[in-house]
Structure 1
């Protein structure tokens, strides 16, 4: 008779961890994974087992927290003096150190901060939002799109986004309405469809009774309505040719992208508040300033050597398993005994470029332009101007004057830091004349130069420069999903959304679940006396 233990043992030999875990679920020995998140693990599952987690970014923090909840002893090592990884909130007095550059020191007004990494959370990122709720981290709305902001053409001409959006809708609706009325689409539309479509187009484009677009109040008022018989007048419609001449016109569809749709949120006081929440709730908080120099997978377990950056003392920690969340460009410089295919896969991962530049400034954009949050799209090497959503009508705010990725960011980060900052200042001056001088204490962050990161996310699909979401499926990507002996790899880089924290959470859940399955399977096939001894 084949016992469940023998069955799982054979499945483990034949099909690996995935088959074992699936079988355990089918046998009712493991909770089935929910649509989002990871299965609930027994609180004593990891008793007697020690897991080392490398890196206290979102994947490392999630891994450490969930493993501790399942009864594992966890040692979390972080090279930086802070947790959060790419989720880096810069405050007054903080140092910005970049390879090959002089150290910058943030000098911000009271309460001001700059999210140098992630700065917004989509409403469907329930993993990150769930942890924020669990740890009591207050959130506020992040105004990701403002129709009062601008799209700026290469020649410097600008128009309000509300004008670009609604005038373009009007012209498109008029053209389609004429095509329908003239029978140009009779092969595609039934008479009943035409009868319903034409009224919709009149409403969609705010067309007149003849189906023509003569302008719309949706695009804003030339004269505002006032008291008594002071009537509002609309702007005359922008010609279609003028709309099409604006190279940033496609960015009016920015908030139609699923990842960018309202409602977006942000933690009150900075993105790193969520990561601090993780650290507060760990039984053993992250060991900071621990620079890993050596990783070994042995027959008996794993061993990590790290240097305490404060004292210079070398320390060694041993465990049963290891979850590594160190960015791959950094990992290549660490002495490891990974298998040859894994080493080659890690060495072959090329990271993208991304830059941010921020200024502390009086809120002229609110008083003069009625812009409350949102983004003005300028193109070029700085790409955009991003206005703060927090502390509206306070005296000052952090204005993001550059957030660009891909090849343009790779070229721009070659410039001296002072030149990058002054270029961004000049772009703001062109959009908001007279206010370039108001921008104080500029800070530039080139992610490719940031120690312990060396880039924002992998360029898994280099042909789609600047796009980090997609159908990522390369041999290296697949290989690194699997453990190399006792070592597991987790990070946003190993998800389908490398540029989002939710991807890092998904990867951590995946690897913690795989490790839990392995420990459970081993416990079922080990002799009873071995389990007691452990």
Structure 2
């Protein structure tokens, strides 16, 4: 057979560029290929025109619902909000000592964290380009602090490589980058790139590879003080008679390739995870609480919707009070903005058109599990010098997230002991009772941090498929479903319009929820004014 041309998919190309060249290079490549763009948010919306006293019923007091309530009331609408829970925020949620919740199956968990410690079981980070969310934080005076996505001193771990010993991210990143640079320098020096790189550019490329890959004068990546400036030293620079540093030995390229640790490097190159990232001081729910200060008087809590009916004059919603479910109640308005997750909405009676109903039924929800673990001391800082960031592993827990605040303090601390998103391990953990999830997180985590077993105090585990108000983490669109149903999901159907992260191109992100809401109410307002 004749040789087939070598083809590289754009996704694979971007991953390779990101892993080797870093996030900036990957972003420029994504922009050139039409993938990346800045937020479409252009600042606070202005709903111009008189709604003439029109009323709107908003279902759900998550960020999408509260955004709609805030902006529609400001525009002159009569607004009421029905919320499933006894709190607002939806998946914008933080768990602290004393908080409790009941998941499907009747399992009740009560958080036992010490004062000042918390877990964000839902969203836990805000990219710098999520401009709408950041703007609302600024308007509401929500204090932000850095979220550390990449900590070079955190770990990459493969259970069947390096004897199960975790490797520092800086080792893997520098050694992979350095040895790939050495290979490319050899190819360049041998004139193998003549057809794609000019002679002048080849000389510049060699200079760049020497700098970028920490190569010596012979374009080799080896144990030296040059490479140690990237990967760290065997003996760090000191003072006095012990001042001189000693170089460290690189991990071989073959070992890195076989370990598969290189695959984690894309987590730092992905556009959504590039620095700078933020988190609210004190917990992600500080954002939800800030919205409540603005629209809390409009919210009826513990209102569990059972039916949504519309006619040519308005929308009637039937619901029950969770504290007194015997007597159904009703609320009516001229229009309805529904932010109920599709996993729930698909089970309710909704007299929308066939296209919208098909779209509601077309989107499954991804599974996710987060487990918070409290330890009696911050051993990851004291013993391992890890301040913030994330360690990645092929163990079922997948990730260990280190707190990005309270650095260098004595006393207890809370780790994100597991973050599973979709996949077989997610469903396996979801099927476990909560206490077993916590126990398994401690068991697996001890393979990376042996201190777990002696320092562990308590934990809490949230499996999103068993959370009653969402039955899943986020809308999990397939390409085919999005092509066939997305527009029908977002279009206004009679007097009903849907909003939420599921009605956006940013599923699972709070920015998607807010942008979806702003788009929905803008179109709704235009229709109201014209009607």
TM-score by length of 1: 0.87
| Alignment of 1:349 onto 2:363 | yes
Q: Which has the greater radius of gyration? A: 1
Contact 1:76 1:287 in 2 (8 A): yes
Aligned to 1:372: 387
| Alignment of 1:511 onto 2:520 | yes
Equivalent of 1:322 in 336, 345, 348: 336
Q: CA deviation at 1:329?
A: 1.4
Contact 1:97 1:103 in 2 (8 A): yes
Within 5 Å, give how 1:223-242 maps onto structure 2: 223-230=235-242, 231-242=244-255
What are the superposed Cα offsets for residues 162-186 of structure 1, whole Å, 9 maximum, x if unpaired? 0111111110111011111111112
Q: Aligned partners of 2:526 and 2:502: how far apart in 1?
A: 23
Q: Aligned partners of 2:266 and 2:283: how far apart in 1?
A: 27
Q: Which runs of 5+ in 1 are unaligned?
A: 1-32, 464-471, 523-534
Contact 1:46 1:73 in 2 (8 A): no
What are the superposed Cα offsets for residues 163-218 of structure 1, whole Å, 9 maximum, x if unpaired? 11111111011101111111111222211011111111111111111111113111
| Alignment of 1:159 onto 2:161 | no
Greater mean deviation of Cα atoms: 509-518 or 453-462: 453-462
Q: Aligned partners of 2:405 and 2:413: how far apart in 1?
A: 8
CA distance 1:340–1:187, change in 2 (3 Å):
closer
| Alignment of 1:40 onto 2:49 | no
Aligned to 1:401: 417
Greater mean deviation of Cα atoms: 315-324 or 389-398: 389-398
CA distance 1:81–1:283, change in 2 (3 Å):
closer
Equivalent of 2:291 in 278, 297, 303: 278
Contact 1:378 1:384 in 2 (8 A): yes
Equivalent of 2:234 in 219, 222, 245: 222
Contact 1:360 1:439 in 2 (8 A): yes
What are the superposed Cα offsets for residues 228-262 of structure 1, whole Å, 9 maximum, x if unpaired? 24211121111111111222322123111110011
Q: CA RMSD in A?
A: 1.8
Q: Aligned partners of 1:106 and 1:492: how far apart in 2?
A: 27
Within 5 Å, give how 1:377-392 maps onto structure 2: 377-392=392-407
Equivalent of 1:210 in 210, 218, 222: 218
Contact 1:53 1:64 in 2 (8 A): yes
Aligned to 1:169: 177
SS at match of 2:331: strand
> How many residues are paired up?
481
Greater mean deviation of Cα atoms: 178-187 or 501-510: 178-187
Within 5 Å, give how 1:466-481 maps onto structure 2: 473-481=482-490
Equivalent of 1:194 in 174, 199, 202: 202
Q: CA deviation at 1:135?
A: 0.7
Equivalent of 2:193 in 185, 189, 204: 185
Aligned to 2:17: none
Q: Aligned partners of 2:40 and 2:391: how far apart in 1?
A: 39
Q: Aligned partners of 1:177 and 1:405: how far apart in 2?
A: 39
Contact 2:395 2:444 in 1 (8 A): no
Contact 1:323 1:488 in 2 (8 A): yes
Q: Aligned partners of 1:207 and 1:329: how far apart in 2?
A: 53
Aligned to 1:102: 107
Q: Aligned partners of 2:379 and 2:479: how far apart in 1?
A: 39
Q: Aligned partners of 1:234 and 1:501: how far apart in 2?
A: 45
| Alignment of 1:62 onto 2:67 | yes
Equivalent of 1:421 in 431, 438, 444: 438
Equivalent of 1:494 in 476, 487, 503: 503
Q: Aligned partners of 1:454 and 1:138: how far apart in 2?
A: 31
Aligned to 2:83: 78
Aligned to 1:30: none
SS at match of 1:281: helix
Aligned to 1:15: none
TM-score by length of 2: 0.87
Q: CA deviation at 1:462?
A: 7.8
Q: Aligned partners of 1:86 and 1:39: how far apart in 2?
A: 24
Q: Which runs of 5+ in 2 are unaligned?
A: 1-38
Q: Aligned partners of 1:212 and 1:129: how far apart in 2?
A: 45
Q: Aligned partners of 1:431 and 1:442: how far apart in 2?
A: 18
Aligned to 1:29: none
Contact 1:174 1:207 in 2 (8 A): yes
Equivalent of 1:139 in 119, 137, 144: 144
